A and B are shown apart, each in its own frame.
Chain A
């Protein structure tokens, strides 16, 4: 009979920072998987996703979101699905019953996620990546892979804050968490 308990930790232990007109905070995901359609299964996969999460496969560099889930496409055949707490059981079931439609892996622990918003958020990211994130060119629901201070990231524009501030999310591989925190903080 094991008496041990394992405690979970987020990659940055709840990092948050307000500096130079930008607010950063670590975001942790309830559930996330990678999805790569298997040969000839795109339509079936699309329907299955719509059934379970109300969202279909978006085009590349786009993110489709609902209140409890989002799907985004970062490359040909490469999608990520994120769910909120209330949909984690659906996610587990989806993995179990749709293995023939797509190659799927659990990615929940693989990434560090930081959200950034504030009046100077564009000025901040101008110094970090070559993406053109002018609001006219990088609208809500845009996603791109890029590099920030030599760390590969997935960068997306989320819905504006209630006060209208633009909001972005930076994702990097979990092991780079400290380096990403440093890159964003200085």
Chain B
């Protein structure tokens, strides 16, 4: 029978019941509950099992700092592990289960670890699992992997959609408690563009959890009124359920908005949005986080933070227990006593570690001063506590108040350090805040209500004036300042049993002392040796205790020990949110060629070339293997005519009176004297003399050139040219722009290519061999007056042209060319056949231009001018690059024609050992040549050009293969080049 822990009051909506399931059991809660508050209301205390010792754990806090109550939410592909029940908004149909147990949550078989705790203290894995070494991979590692971690992933793809966004504002308000609301209201009324964020689903911060009045009304009512006014302001944007998780440079923040986490999965909305917020100013009003006290067995279900106990009572109408007690080292614990007592909860006693206080307890509540709790009993739920004076008190809930730590995290995301304040026994924001940031309220060490409201208004007015606007006449509402006195009491030394410091990683006070003993005393070493503060809660409730204990052990002050580095994210951000829409097919955008749709209709197989999709081959019915298609395409080009979309190659338009000089400095060969109407192959070198790219450049007019580049280097070459123009030679009169997109360009190649083109080129344009010889270029018209450009260049080695029309006609042109070429059996060919043809011809591509080769290696040394200055000409002549036995690009033929060659294999002499000293070069490109009926390749080999006919072995030690090859000319087909000039 579940006990009912609901009490009166709270801001949950008792008219809206919600059904949910936990660990297979059905429960009821209300709209406005969290999963934690609803489970507590139903008397469920054990929600989880601790990391190492598998101890039963319950709810510890009421916020995102929760270290214990981590559950797995949802099922199937929506399953999400390690979700904090304390911030999970309850919704109809919510399904959750516990984590980190074998067997069942209530009776976890792994609890045996608790008995082994002496062997599992901090750093145990540095001293164990060492011997024997062979056991590591087969035995130790699998066991440790299975035991490690808390929740589990579904291993299915995340079905939800996530998005990213960008917001701009004058003022980013982080936190909507009393100081945050005052600041937002002031800024909003002054006309600033304000974004107000809060990680909670209900704005108002602690006003929703406390009983102090503001302006004569309940705090949460005042908050509602302010929020209502803010909602009506056009210049204010409210983002609840939004965690500002990181403070980055220049006033830029990262924020995660949980858009539909509180709705049943599959609702169709985007699930989360990752916002980048650009702010002129920011105000951090993130409040303070309560910390615990370390004492024996302080981790039992039923032991929670005192401020949280108040929040559950006042906001959710849930009691921590039926007969509770309070253990405190400061005045705040007394407020919990008063609040719960006022709600009719029996408070057995309040135990205060201090010797005296001005606080008073309600009648009927025993006060025990100058005493501490040192042990507790009740494994599955607290049932008694033992004090340092020997007394045992029966109690089913203990509210612990160890003081408050300002949430300074965002002030330290840019390597800032917080500053220790002795009076508050807490770290406050340090001197080095991120640019434009101010801090108000408890985050700034302002711990009482009226002071918070005042500070919020004053700082906001300062910011308003800084931004050149006029503050409004808003004044601070009436409120009181509660008394605030705290003490630096961190752990109960009398405790004999383990006293927990970091609940989530199961780090105890003993572990901290062990770390000191082992010599890991610096706070960053303490963290890593014990794993204190390394769990998903990042030590929000525990870091302070840990470093205080370390300070004591080392005889240092707390500021001397210091804090560890704070890093974003403040609380966990899922990888899905970081990815946004960039997943799967949408990881990158795709670029489609003008003939793409037509190619799809032909059933083309596509390949990714950077962002482009290019047809790789066009399979025909009956072909079962890609090589069949590629062989057919390559043969068709040499025998009749083929058609290939080459729109992807970079086209750079260069104009200006110094264009020819500009190109002359960029290319290794000369361009100043290129006649108008002609095209020339050019190679450009890097500064270090290596070949960067090659292409053909056409001179369309005296001061107008059109350069082509390889697809892969289009952007790189353009950038290089812009750098040369802007930085190296800014005085040259030259302008560049990409023309890649403007034209659809097709290669029409083969002995019948001219005949096909003559059918579409308008009669006025003469493209006969005399009028339009090899390497000519010019403007023509086609199909009744459509402007086009024709280039007589050949990559295949056959009679060939490239025809360019404005891209709008691209789809139409390919269909027209296919029709015009039908009588010649025109064959579309893709990148694979293109590659076969160019290898047969001996043309270099990216494989050969790999950044390690020179013009000399490529056999193009004669192209490199000795008469002009150009990029790369000096270092090109380095001794080692021009040596006698330099690598030369040559052809390789498999001695047994059907033995496949492997690109990347290295050449070793026939009777030499396969060692580095005997390495003579490597194979760069290979293919099966249907025209020669043999496997062939291109590659670099020492002195290759003077070793024709010699045989070497092409060796690959990775696949353990080798082939006997013969060195031949790289121009396998038509070495004289007569077909080109036909």
- Measured CB to CB, the residues of A under 8 A from B are 1-2, 4-11, 34, 36, 38-39, 77-78, 99, 102-111, 126-127, 129-132, 134, 137, 149-151, 173-180, 182-183, 186
Contacts and interface: CB of A to CB of B under 8 A. Distances in A.
Interface stretch (B19-27, B55-63, B813-821, B959-967): B813-821
Contacts, number: 143
Given A4-B819, A7-B812, A105-B739, A150 B589 contact: yes
A81 B589 CA distance: 27
Given A38-B733, A150-B588, A178-B590, A106 B808 contact: no
Given A5-B784, A151-B589, A110 B807 contact: yes
Given A4-B820, A39-B733, A127 B165 contact: yes
Nearest to A111: B741
B811 interface: yes
B322 interface: no
A126 B582 CA distance: 17
B742 A109 contact: yes
B505 interface: no
Contacts of A132: 168, 278
Contacts of A174: 741, 807
A105 B656 CA distance: 12
B705 to A, nearest CB: 11
A186 B739 CA distance: 30
B112 interface: no
Nearest to A123: B165
A77 B737 CA distance: 11
Contacts of A173: 591, 740-741
B167 interface: yes
15 contacts: A2-B782, A4-B760, A4-B784, A9-B809, A36-B737, A38-B655, A39-B733, A103-B735, A105-B739, A105-B742, A108-B806, A109-B742, A109-B806, A130-B278, A150-B589
A82 to B, nearest CB: 15
Given A8-B808, A127-B166, A177-B592, 14 more contacts: A2-B760, A4-B783, A7-B811, A34-B737, A38-B655, A99-B704, A104-B655, A106-B742, A107-B742, A109-B806, A110-B741, A126-B165, A130-B276, A179-B590
A133 to B, nearest CB: 9
Which 7 interchain pairs have the tightest Cβ spacing?
A179-B589, A103-B655, A103-B735, A36-B735, A175-B591, A110-B741, A109-B807
Given A2-B761, A4-B783, A105-B737, A127 B163 contact: yes
A138 B487 CA distance: 54
Contacts of A11: 807
Interface in B550-591: 581-582, 586, 588-591
A111 B167 CA distance: 28
Contacts of B273: 127
A38 B657 CA distance: 8
Contacts of A129: 166
Interface in B709-747: 733-737, 739-743
B193 interface: yes
A111 B739 CA distance: 11
B657 A5 contact: no
A151 B276 CA distance: 18
A179 B596 CA distance: 14
B591 A149 contact: no
B193 A134 contact: yes
A4 B782 CA distance: 9
Contact of B783 (A2, A107, A176): A2
B530 to A, nearest CB: 41
A103 B732 CA distance: 13
Contacts of A102: 735
Interface string B653-697: 111110000000000000000000000000000000000000000
Contacts of B761: 2
A105 B782 contact: no
Of A4, A178, A183, chain B has the most CB atoms within 10 Å of the CB of: A4
Given A4-B816, A6-B786, A134 B741 contact: no
B262 interface: no
Contacts of B812: 6-9
Given A175-B593, A175-B741, A186-B581, A109 B735 contact: no
Interface string B100-121: 0000000000000000000000
Contacts of B639: none
B264 interface: no
B762 interface: yes
Contact of B759 (A4, A34, A179): A4
Nearest to B704: A99
A36 to B, nearest CB: 4
Nearest to B161: A186
A126 B736 CA distance: 33
A10 B166 CA distance: 31
B338 interface: no
Nearest to B820: A4
A131 B168 CA distance: 9
Given A39-B733, A174-B807, A182 B586 contact: yes
A172 to B, nearest CB: 9
Nearest to B805: A6
Contacts of B140: none
Contact of A2 (B593, B656, B704, B759): B759
Of B586, B589, B612, B763, chain A has the most CB atoms within 10 Å of the CB of: B589
B843 interface: no
A99 B701 CA distance: 11
A24 to B, nearest CB: 17
A5 B589 contact: no
B783 A126 contact: no
Contacts of B805: 6
Nearest to B739: A105
A2 B713 CA distance: 37
Nearest to A10: B808
B341 interface: no
Contacts of B743: 109
Contact of B591 (A2, A4, A78, A176): A176
B742 A6 contact: no
A142 to B, nearest CB: 14
A179 B591 CA distance: 8
B578 to A, nearest CB: 15
Of A2, A6, A106, A109, chain B has the most CB atoms within 10 Å of the CB of: A6
B646 to A, nearest CB: 13
Of A105, A107, A108, A137, chain B has the most CB atoms within 10 Å of the CB of: A105
Contacts of B74: none
Contacts of B163: 127
A36 B806 CA distance: 21
B394 interface: no
A176 B589 contact: yes
Contacts of B593: 175
B809 A6 contact: yes
B676 to A, nearest CB: 13
Nearest to B763: A1
A151 B591 CA distance: 10
A142 B820 CA distance: 47
B653 to A, nearest CB: 5
